[in-house]
Amino acid sequence: MFQPRIPVNPLPTGIVTPLVQPTFTADIAPHQTAAPVVCNHHHAPAPVPVPAPSSVARLTPAGLAVVVAGGAGAVLVVGTVLVSMLLAVAVTAASVAVCAVVLRSLLNGQHRRR
């Protein structure tokens, strides 16, 4: 169980499969499309759709509520993250300040004893 076992690879068989390369023949004619059929009676022209202005976004009241709720949620999440980061920096600064005061008092105490 604790001895490493080296896998045994079978010996090659000597059969080599060549890669198949696609061959192009020049005797294939390109695909011809049929000519459009022309009829002799009159048709009404197809109506041209009028594009809506792209700068106007229409929201239903439900869609507006979803957008407002999503925006408020995003503001709350970003605010929470920023406040927690600020709190982490403040706690770190306070602990470093306490350590500095303790070290200073220890060093001053050693100088007075001599």
- The pLDDT assigned to 2 comes to 77
Cα separation, 75 vs 82, whole angstroms:
10
Cα separation, 106 vs 113, whole angstroms:
11
Residue 39 has pLDDT above 80, yes or no: no
Greater confidence (87 vs 110) lies with 87
Chain centroid to Cα 1, Å, comes to: 45
Label residue 28 by pLDDT band (50, 70, 90): low
102-to-86, 88, 108, 110, 111 alpha-carbon distances in Å = 24, 21, 10, 13, 15
Label residue 59 by pLDDT band (50, 70, 90): confident
- The pLDDT assigned to 27 comes to 59
Average confidence (pLDDT) over 27-54 = 65
Residue the block writes with tokens 């109506």: 47
- The pLDDT assigned to 48 comes to 72
Instruction: Output the average pLDDT for the chain.
Output: 79
One-letter amino acid identity for 14? G
Cα separation, 58 vs 105, whole angstroms:
68
Label residue 21 by pLDDT band (50, 70, 90): low
Label residue 114 by pLDDT band (50, 70, 90): low
- The pLDDT assigned to 22 comes to 61
62-to-44, 46, 66, 68, 72 alpha-carbon distances in Å = 40, 36, 6, 10, 15
